[in-house]
Structure 1
Amino acid sequence: MTSTADTPNKKAFIDSARRYMRKDVISEVPDIAPYDKHLYVKMLNVREMTDFFQRCSEFESGYDDGLNGVREKALMIVDREGKPMFYPDDREDLEFLADLPSKVLAAVQDHFFLINGDAGLKKQSQDAKNS
């Protein structure tokens, strides 16, 4: 078996990837007037995405109150600095989010998976070039 520990290709990839890994990519959820400029989602790294899906799985096995979809959205929403705004274990947060128009939480979910997919990588690449 060949070790790739010190290959030039590995070093080049790591050096290139670190440039993109330096900053969080925080993106405003668009098209949710009058809630614009308040809700953001963050591009997650592999560890964060694994934690996200693990928490969602815990919701399915731990709650039977019909609010698991709202709990998932609570995990997705951050402020413009990337800090969580709502907590899936806080009943008051869940009640607030559950009372929002469904379009708002649908837009959050769509944008979360958009930013954590190909569009997010393109945005990260553009942001790195501009900084």
Structure 2
Amino acid sequence: MSAAAAIHTLIFDVQASMRALIRTSMQQLGFREFREAGDGEAGLRHMIAQPAHLIISDFNMPNLDGLGLLRAVRAHPPTSKAAFIMLTGRADRDLVARAVQFGVNNYLVKPFTVAQLKEKVETVFGPLT
């Protein structure tokens, strides 16, 4: 079994098509365990109910945005060590700086390629194969 297959992943994005794209890209990298949500509040409930190893979250979501979700995950001891990759169409320095301040592990700008996603995940977890 590859290292990727052992990593449980949560995917949070308001657009179902983007969640499907992320899931398909992750499957190409060997990931097998996924849960998804369309907003930050639902995502946080998923994470608290059953913590995952990796969260890939959009920044711009209703109810609780990606930064709020990141802060909540980091503040809750059972989830605080999960890897968190922020995914967004906004590449401004202020957003990146705030995400880093709150403990993001990596940052991925839309649109992205499978190779870029792999690079960001491997920066956090090491080689996937």
Q: TM-score, normalised by structure 1?
A: 0.27
- Max Rg structure: 1
Q: TM-score, normalised by structure 2?
A: 0.28
The structure richer in helix per residue is 1
